[in-house]
Structure 1
Amino acid sequence: MKVAKWMCSKFICAGISALALVGCAGTRADGPSLQTVRVISLPGRPLPIVAAESQGIFAKYGVAVQFQSADSSDVLRVDLANGKADVAVAAVDNAVAMVETAGVDAIIVMGGERTVNELIVQSEIHSISELRGKTVIVDATNTAFALQLKKILLLNSLQAGRDYQIKPIGASPLRLAAMREHKEYAGTMLGPPASVLAKRDGFVSLGSTLKFIGPYQGSGSFVLRGWARAHADVLVRYLAAYLEAQRWILAPANKRKVIELLIKEAKLPPAAAEETYSLTTQGAGGYAEDARMDLDGFKNVLKLRAEIEGQWGGQPPTPDKYYDAEYYQQALTQKPPK
């Protein structure tokens, strides 16, 4: 399968193969003043990480990021749980899944993006009802955007296993590549730039998650609670650098530079990069101001998991079971070390 070389909604593609990881948090890198933070995400570096590196923001806060790419959220969760990474940047429902299905003491420490996913289908499909009897594809079957897909189809009286089949394929670049190569894969959830590229290829959007299920906290940063306690100083500095980079991305004066990053790093055509920038920096979705956690959107994440997966007997807990704002609040006022 030919894998696309671009970022999925939140990620600048750095290739599907994981980079080798060495060292751990607290290890000195590139001189005596930098501490390494190992970050894992789905294929490609998150755009704020690319921006922070290109603008020297991580170095300003005494941090060096060592990046690892995971083919799927299943791999990402396992690697974080096993200590192969320090911080995960992905859909925050993965942190909830780590706690509830794997018994791992993970916590969300920062928001990042509100989902701008769309239900993308093959060109001959023009309504959700036409997905009956078809196969749809997801990253993992029981987390995040797969739950969005199940909910959207359930709103149209289609139930997984009874009315359609669901197949795990992996992250967004893998799913788009699979839909290009296999017409029997009828649909999937995609965000920009995958959704942008898909529509340019002739695939059809049946609507956005905002339209179908309302606000939804998408990507965020999560860690193991024990690691956060043991490395609070470097975690706060990493978060401070990340949110400063996100502010840089959202500053209108930097629009051209951000689009150039998308073109260069994600190998996007200029028009697709422009549309991706617009979708992720303007409107109701995309990058959040100061990388804030959308608590209403996160409540919707928990509500969806309760309804679709039957978690907690159908009654979702409050967000503070999974989100610890302490480190983020410190990061908001953190100054670069002298």
Structure 2
Amino acid sequence: MKFIVSIAATAALVAGSISPSFAQSNPAPAFHPNPTQTLRVIGFAGGFNLPIWAGQRQGYFTDEKLSIQLTYTPNSVYQITNLLAGNFDIAMTAIDNVVAYQEGQNEAPIGPDPDLFAFMGSDNAFLSLVSQGQYKTIEDLRGKTLTVDAMTTGFAFVLREILAKNNIAENEVTFEKAGGVGSRFTAMLQNPEHAGTMQMTPFELQGEARGLSTLVRAEPALGAPYMGMVGATRRSWAIENESAVEGFIRAYKRSVDFIYEPDNRPIVEALLVANTQMSPDIAKRAYGVLLDKDSGFYRDLRLDLAGIQTVLALRSKYGEPKKHLTDPAPYIDTSFRDKALK
């Protein structure tokens, strides 16, 4: 630091000693900082990344002077702990993960005072209960092994609630941790002892093509709206990078509008094929689920309060240590979205 100051002071003295005409004819080279900010985004692999892929293709993030570096996480623990550690800037994650780590009901130890929050909503998670092909009803899962990401995550709570609504006690099944949605999909294909799991579109469709069964979709099974994936980050980072957060939101919104435009369907299906292992036929089916006018991606990027209430109710019921959670406010901040989309 002292060396830099010395050079700066010397440069100032030299600049003051030269004539104005010389200074004008030999200006110092202009410094042009790179206007593009790289955002390190971490999410789960799958078709639910469609708005990001579309935004990258269409240049919407570039328009906001952003470059998206998208990393796929092996599981929720890796995702959130690395977000908190500052190794990533934004997580496309379940709102339940935000609640869990803020309330100390998380799977992995973290430092004190986490400052996670959700700044926009994406979807209802497109969740389905998937089973091996020989199991045709939820009742058939009684006595079987079911896989989860982690026992303390929201999708595991959805599975436990669906079982409870079908009168299957938790001691009548075995839960086994098998990682994120992609890992659980692979585990189902490789190990027939894994009888069922919660999956996100398009994995349930890919599973059907490989002989697996889709037993039920989550929202109808729960009988209530469910808030799934959100854009989340640390409050401290968001305050320092407000323009980047708002730019991300604007680009994401343009991407959602793009993928919903019927004329763009061939491009959208091609993006699904190019970024996943799905076939063109499955891409057509996935398009129908992801862009359903009633249950597809949230066109307004809302943080759905009714859906968050369901998340909090399940976490109050199944989370440890026990807490009674009813207020979404501590886990969300709509001001970034409101300002970005104003």
Q: In 1, distance between residues paired with 2:242 and 2:163?
A: 42
Structure 2 residue runs of 5 or longer lacking an equivalent are: 1-31, 105-109
Are residue 126 (structure 1) and residue 136 (structure 2) matched? yes
Are residue 135 (structure 1) and residue 161 (structure 2) matched? no
Corresponding residue of 2:37: 35
Deviation per CA, 1:110-135, whole angstroms, max 9, x where unpaired? 00012321111111112222222211
Q: In 2, distance between residues paired with 1:163 and 1:31?
A: 61
Correspondence for 1:67 among 61, 67, 70? 70
* Preserved CA contact (<8 Å) 1:108 1:221: yes
Correspondence for 1:223 among 213, 233, 237? 233
* Structure number with higher helix proportion: 2
Correspondence for 1:254 among 264, 268, 288? 264
Q: In 1, distance between residues paired with 2:283 and 2:253?
A: 22
Q: In 2, distance between residues paired with 1:116 and 1:285?
A: 8
SS in structure 1 at match of 2:81: helix
Larger radius of gyration: 2
Structure 1 residue runs of 5 or longer lacking an equivalent are: 1-29, 334-338
Give the structure-2-normalised TM-score.
Answer: 0.84
Give the residue type in structure 2 aligned to 1:146: A
- State the shift of 1:253 in Å: 2.2
SS in structure 2 at match of 1:186: strand
Correspondence for 1:52 among 38, 52, 55? 55
Deviation per CA, 1:105-158, whole angstroms, max 9, x where unpaired? 100000001232111111111222222221100112111211110110111222
Give the residue type in structure 1 aligned to 2:127: N
Give the residue type in structure 1 aligned to 2:141: L
* Preserved CA contact (<8 Å) 1:115 1:285: no
Alignment of 1:167-316 (within 5 A): 167-213=176-222, 214-309=224-319, 313=323, 315-316=324-325
* Preserved CA contact (<8 Å) 1:247 1:290: no
SS in structure 2 at match of 1:286: coil
Give the residue type in structure 2 aligned to 1:52: G
Deviation per CA, 1:158-207, whole angstroms, max 9, x where unpaired? 233x1111111111121111111111111001121100011122211221
- State the shift of 1:280 in Å: 0.6
Deviation per CA, 1:53-111, whole angstroms, max 9, x where unpaired? 10011111111112222100110011001000010001111111121125511000000
- State the shift of 1:283 in Å: 4.2
The alignment yields a C-alpha RMSD, in angstroms, of 1.8
Which stretches of structure 1, 4 residues or longer, exceed 6 Å deviation after superposition?
A: none
Give the structure-1-normalised TM-score.
Answer: 0.85
Count of residue correspondences: 302
Alignment of 1:97-116 (within 5 A): 97-101=100-104, 102=110, 103-116=113-126
- State the shift of 1:36 in Å: 1.4
Corresponding residue of 1:15: none
